[in-house]
Amino acid sequence: MPTDSPQPAFVLVRPQMGENIGAAARAMWNFGLDRMRLVAPRDGWPNPKSVAMASGAGRLLDEATLHGDLADAVGDCSYVFATTARQRGLTKPVFSPERAMALAAEKIAAGEKVAVLFGPERAGLENEDVARANAIISVPVNPEFASLNLAQCVLLTAYEWRRQVSEVQHEVTEMGRADWASTLEVEKLSEHYEERLQQAGFFFPPEKAENMKINLRNLWSRMRLTRADVQMLHGVMRQMVRWKERGD
């Protein structure tokens, strides 16, 4: 059964290859989308070639609805986007995928039904298809090579939908089994190094010593150290001192 999450319907208009339908299903499910509608697939439906490419997203293919024409596929929707990379000579708002999916999220949250149209692989949507849409989604691609694979276009749009409806961590550090060192632990490390370097005569000449110590403390605070890092650096200094004492 489809998930209960509010989402747009992705409508593949006259898709040609079963493999691309399967790849589009996989791309949709990567980002939590499972409402696929198919309009007059060239090779009929169901298509066994789509199953292998779906790679775990076969449920979407089982639940995809089949429609004879575009009017039937989007008849229950109040807002429709058409994806295209070509100028169409039609007066319509044109959105980036990011802005389009933000608008889709707003409309769906308000109770509307939204669809996104994707054209056949050979030449994309026809002007007659685009004319049925309320707005265009245009991907900022290389103008000298603007053609996108069907599944690629689906993936780009699905990714932007996911960004709008879930919190995306734009940067994260994998900690493994480590914990960040506390300020006190870093302070003790700094004191340990400062003490040993003082004994070694590192802070020279005397008039520069205070500034050198400040720079060293700034180095420790600028580095994001784990507790394991701190323990290792303590061990490095202790071993260096032992080595020096053995050498004496």
Catalogue all structural domains in the chain, each as residue range(s) with its CATH number.
9-165 (3.40.1280.10), 183-247 (no CATH)
What DSSP assignment string belongs to 166-235? S---S-----TT--BPPHHHHHHHHHHHHHHHHHTT-S-SHHHHHHHHHHHHHHHHHS--BHHHHHHHHH
Find the mean pLDDT for residues 13-25. 96
* 168 pLDDT tier (thresholds 50, 70, 90): low
| pLDDT higher than 70, residue 19 | yes
The answer to whether residue 170 scores a pLDDT higher than 80 is no
In the block, tokens 């994001």 appear at 224
User: Positive or negative CA dihedral for 181, 185, 190, 195?
Assistant: negative
Quick one: angle between helices 150-165 and 18-30, nearest 10?
20
Sign of CA dihedral 57, 51, 148, 104: negative
- pLDDT mean over 1-11: 84
- Band (pLDDT 50/70/90 cuts) for residue 248 is low
> For residue 1, is pLDDT > 70?
no
Which of 48, 49, 39 has its CA nearest to residue 14?
39
Coil/strand/helix, residue 140: coil
- Does this model's pTM top 0.85? My answer is no
What is the percentage of the chain residues whose pLDDT exceeds 70? 96
pLDDT tens-digit profile of 54-77?
988 999 999 999 999 999 999 999
Least confident of 56-65, 152-161, 169-178: 169-178
DSSP 24-92: HHHHHHHTT---EEEE--TT-SS-HHHHHHHTT-HHHHHH-EEESSHHHHTTT-SEEEEE-SS--S---
Smallest Cα–Cα separation from 8: which of 70, 62, 79, 64? 79
Sheet of 9-13, strand order: 65-67, 36-39, 9-13, 114-118, 79-83, 135-137, 94-95
Q: What is the pLDDT of residues 117-138, one digit of tens each?
A: 999 988 889 999 999 999 999 9
Whole-number average pLDDT of the chain: 91
What average pLDDT score do residues 183-194 get? 94
Contact criterion met (CB below 8 Å) for 64 and 24: no
